[in-house]
Chains A and B, each alone.
Chain A
Amino acid sequence: MIADNGIVIAFWLLAATTIGCALMVAAVRELVQAVLFLALTFVGAAGMYIVLSADFVAVVQVLIYAGAVSVLMTFAVMLTPAADRRNSETVFQVPALILAGLVLAIVVFVTLDTDWAISDRGAFSATAASLGEAFLKPYVVPFEVASVLLMVAMIGAIVLTQEDEVPPRRQEGE
C-alpha cells in the first residue's frame, strides 16, 4: 500500500475538497458560483494528479480546465439573461436523482468489484517528454485525427457564424 503518511493525508484532503466542491456545484443556486466551484473541483483533480506524480497532466489540467474551460463557461453564463442564471426548481429533480443514484451505484460496484493490484513499475519520470514521445510515435494517427477534428470544428464554427457583410450602424435618432 501507499507507504508515506504525507501522501495519504494529501490524498484525503484533496479528495474531500474535490468531492465537496463537486457537490456544491450541484447544490448552489447561482450559476456563476457553480462555475467557480467547478474551477475549484478542477484544481482539486489537478492535485490528485500531483499525488500520482503525473505533474504534466496536473499542470495541463489547471491550464485547460481551471484556466480555459471555466472561463469559457463563465463567458457562456454571462451571455445568458440574468433570469436564467439560477438553478430553479424543475420537474426533472426526481428522475435526475434516480439517474445520479444509478450512476453512483455503478461506480461503487465497479470500485468494489475491481481487483486493485499494485503495479510494480516505479513512478513516472519526465512525464512531459514521455507523453510527447507517445503522441508522436506510437499514437501519431489518433493524435493527428483529433487535431484535424478540432480544426474542422473550428472552421465550421467560423463558417456558421460568418456574416456576409458588415451591418450598417444605426443612424443617430433612429
Chain B
Amino acid sequence: MTVGLGMALLAGAGTRAGAAVAKKVDFNHDVRPILSDNCFACHGPDEKKRKAKLRLDTEDGSRADLGKGLRAVVPGKVSESALWKRITATNPDDIMPPPESHKKLTGRQIEMLKQWLEQGANYKGHWAFEAPKRPAVPVVKAGAVVRTPIDAFILARLEAQGLTASPEAAKEALIRRVTFDLTGLPPTLAEVAAFLTDKDANAYEHVVDRLLKSPRYGEHMARYWLDAARYGDTHGLHLDNERSMWPYRDWVVKAFNRNVPFDQFTVEQLAGDLLPKPSLEQLTASGFNRCNVTTGEGGSINEELLFRYAVDRTETTAAVWMGLTAGCAVCHDHKFDPISTKEFYSMYSFFNSAADPAMDGNSLTTPPILKLATPDQQKKLDALEAKVSAIEKTSRELAAKLAYTDPATLTPPPSVKRTESVWVDDDFPAGAKVTASPGEPTQWVTAEKGGRVFSGKRALKRSDKGIAQDFFEGGPAITVPAGAKIFAHVFLETNDVPKSVMVQFHVGGTWSARAVWGDQDAIDWGKKGTNERKSLGALPKAGEWVKLEFAADSLGLKAGTKIAGVAFTQFGGTVFWDKAGLSAETNPLTDPTQSLAAWEKENQGKNNKELPTDVREIFRSVKPADRKPEQSKKLREYYLENVCATTRPAFETLRAELNPLKTERDAIEKLIPATFIYRDLEKPRDSFVMIRGQYNKPGERVYPNTPAILPPLPKGDTTNRLTFARWLVDPQHPLTARVAVNRFWQQFFGLGIVKTANDFGAQGEPPSHPELLDWLATTFQQDGWDVQRLVKLIVTSATYRQDSRVSPELLAADSENRLLGRAPRYRLDAEVVRDNALFVSGLMNHTIGGKGVRPYQPENIWEPVAYSGSNTRVYKQDAGDALYRRSLYTFWKRTAPPPNMTTFDAPSRESFCVRRERSNTPLQALVLMNDIQHFEAARAFAQRLLKEGGATAGERLAWGFRTATARQPSAAEQSILTESLTAQLTKFQANPEAAKLAIAVGESKPAADLNPSELAAYTLVANLILNLDECLTKN
C-alpha cells in the first residue's frame, strides 16, 4: 500500500482534502468545509464584515442577484457562476480567495466545487444543527466480529476502504485497558489472574460490571468533567487566593458513581438553585458556573468584571453542552456559524444576573455560598449569630444616640491641647494577647491586699531573680501622634531593687525598640546604644512611684509609627508598673481621633488595610460628594465605635462582650466546609448587546433567548436558566446528546468521532462516522441519558476490544486511527501516570473526597510567582497519608498548577478544556525518573518485589513486570531486566552509602529488614519498569 492511497482514504474519512471522486457531492461533507474555511470570513454570517453583499453560507444568498444579473451560483451552470469565474481567475485583482487572505484553494477543492455546481449546487443545513435521525445499523461482511451496533458502523467504514479490523487484544491487555479506562488505575495481579482463568463467555462483561461499581469509577470520570468545568481550588486571578469549592468536586464524583442521568446532571449544574426546594446536593451542583476565574484586584472596574464572568459562563456552557465556539460572537457576528452577537447576548442574559460580586474579595468563601454544617454546628452558630447581631444592634443604637460634635464644625475652633491616652491602667487593652515570661502568670495587685497602686484600683507586680516581663501584643494598634511622649509609672521595692527596668515596643513585626533604666548590660537584648537598646537614665529611685517619660522619637518611634505591643521588663527585684500610655499635643481640628472630618480626609482615596473591607471600599472608590447616606452613616458608626477618642470608650464593654463571641463563631465556621453556589440577583440585570465586546458600550437591549438555528425555547410564564437547562436536554436539541457522547467516545478512543470536541460548528471537523454519532446520540437519549449504560456499550464493543498493534499498513493508511482499524494506544493522562505509580507501589491512600491535599512538589513553584499578599504564596507540603492521595485530590492553584501534572498536559483550569493535548517530552522523562513522588514509589514498589515477588531475582523481576504491565515478560525482556539489576547491584554493593541515600527518598521509611544495597538496586529497576513505554501507555 502506498502513502498516496493512504491520503486518499483519509480524505474519504472526512478531511478537507476532498478526493475528487465522481460521486454525488455531499454539501456538508464535501463543500461546506471548503467554503467555510476560504469564503465565510467575508461572505458568511457576519453582516458587518460581509463583502460585496454576497453571502455564501445560505442557499438564497448564493443565488442572489449581485447586480446586472450577476449571480455567485447558477445551479447546473458552471461557467455562468461568478463563483467559478473568481476561483479560477488568474488576475490577482479577481481571484478568490484574495491573495492577502493567504488562503488558496487546492486543485481538488476547485474540482469539488465544480462538481457541486454541476450537480445543482444544493445546500443542506449544517449537520450539527439538525436533530440526529436514528440511522439503520449497517450490514457488514465481517458480521461475525460484530458485538454491538457500534462495530457494524465501524466495520462498514473499514470495509468501504478495503481495510479490516484488528483481532481482539490479549486478555492481559484488555483487562489493563478497561481497568484504566473505567477507574484510572491498573488492575491488580489477582484481578488479572481471575480474568485469565474465567472461562465464562461473559467474563469480560463481568469485569466491566465490577469496575462500574467501583467508587474509583466516579473519581476517574469526574476528572474529565472537572477539566470541562474549569474546577480549581483558587480564584485564578491576581492574588489567586484559596477558594472553597471542593464539595462541588466531590458532588461530581458522587454523581458519576450514582449514575445520575446526564439530563439531570445537566439541569442540576446549570440551574440546581432554581429547582423547587433544591436539595443541598442540587445547590452544590449549581457551583458549575461558579468555577470560573475571578479577581479581587484593586483598581478593577466592577462592570468589566461582571461582564467577563457572564461571558465566561455563557461561553463555557455553550462549549461544554453544545460544542459551540460562541465566544466569537462576543465581539461580532460569528464568522462561520449562524450565531449573531444578538443571539450570543441573549444567551448571556441567562447568566448575567448572577448574584456573586464583581470583586471576589480574595475570600475563601465569596458569596453566595452553601455552608455544609452539621446540625450541631448550625445550632451553635445560630445561637452565636443571634448574640452577635444583638450586640451589633445595640452598638449601632448607641452610635446613633451618642452626642458627638466634630470639633472641626465648632466656632470658634477649639485650641490645641495636650491629651493623654492610656494603654495600661488596671488592665491591658481589650483584645490584646497577654503573656508573662518566665514564671508566674501575670499578677494584678490591689492596695487592699498590700500592693502598691499609683492610679485606679490595681497595678502590675512581678518579682524575679533574672529577666522577667509582662507584655501584650495585638488588639488595636497604637498610632504615635506627632510630638508624642511615652510614659509609664514604676515603683521599685526598696528591699528588692532590680538591676534594670526596660520598656519594649513591638513595631513593624518585631520587638525592635527598647528603653532601659539602670544597668544597660543586664538585659542584653538588641544592639546596645541604638534604638534597639537605649539607655534613658539611671535606675529610678526605689520606694516611691516614679514617672518614666521620654519623647517617642528619641527611640525612633516617629509620628505615624504603629505600636502593636508593649513589654514591661526587669532584671531581678520586685517591680510594680501602673498607668502607661502616651501624651501628645493635638489639634482637635486635624486629629483623626477627635475629628470625624479629619479621619475621613486622612483615609479618602486610600487603601487602608487596617479598615474592614466595607469601610475601606467606601474610601477607596467613592468620592465624598458621591457617598450615599447609608455609606456616610456606616463611616460615622465605625468612627465612633473604633476611632474617636471620646466616644470609643463607651463601646468598650460591648466590644469586650462581642470579641469572644466572634472568635468562637470564627472557630466554628472554620471547621464547616463551604462551597460556591449559583444564585441570581433578586432583581435581574438588564442585558444588552455589548458593542464589539466592550463592557462599557451597551447597544441593543436583549432578553433571555437561544439562537434561532436551534429549536425554540418552550413557551412558559418564565424564561430563566432552568428553562435554558431543560431546553438543552430536550430530545429535539440537535447538539447536547451528540456532544456528550462524542466526549465519552473521546475518553475511550483518544479522539472523538468529531475530532474537534469543542467545535461542532462549520469550522469543526465533520464527524468521521456521522451515522454512528447519531446512533449513539439517539441511543443515549432513548436510554434515559444513562451514562454507565453508554460507557458499557462502548467498552464492550469489538471495536474497543481490538488489539492496539500499529501495523505499518494501518499507520500509512490511517495514521491518526480515525477509522479505528485497531484499538487506540496512547500515553496515560497526567493524573493516571501518578496514580498508577502510587497504586502499583502500594503507597496509595484511597480516601475519597475532602479538601485538596498538598503532596510533594519541588521548592519554589508557588513562591517565585505568587503575589506577596496571597494566601497561596507559600506551599506547605502535607505529611503522611495525604502525600499519597489520588491526583484528583491535589490542591489546584490555577496560576501555578502542580508541575508534575502540567508537564503531562494537564490544563491550568483557568478556562474550560474538553480535550487535552498529549505531548511526549524530555521533561516528562525527568519527572518520572526523579520526582520524589515517583522515586519513592519506585522504592516502595521494589520492596513489594522483594517481599511479595518470590524467592529469586528472576521471579521478582517477572512479578514486578507483570504488576506494572499485566503480562509476563518475554525471555528477552526478562534477560534485559536481569542485566539491569546486576549492573545496579554491582554499583550499590560497592557503595552502600549511596544505596542508603537512594532508599531514603520520600517520607515513608524503607523496610528495615532489607539490605540497603539490594533494595537500592531493585529501586532502580522498579524505576525502570515504571518508566516503560508500556507502563505509561494504554495499550
Whether A and B are associated in the same complex: the answer reads no
Interface residues of B (CB under 8 A from A): none
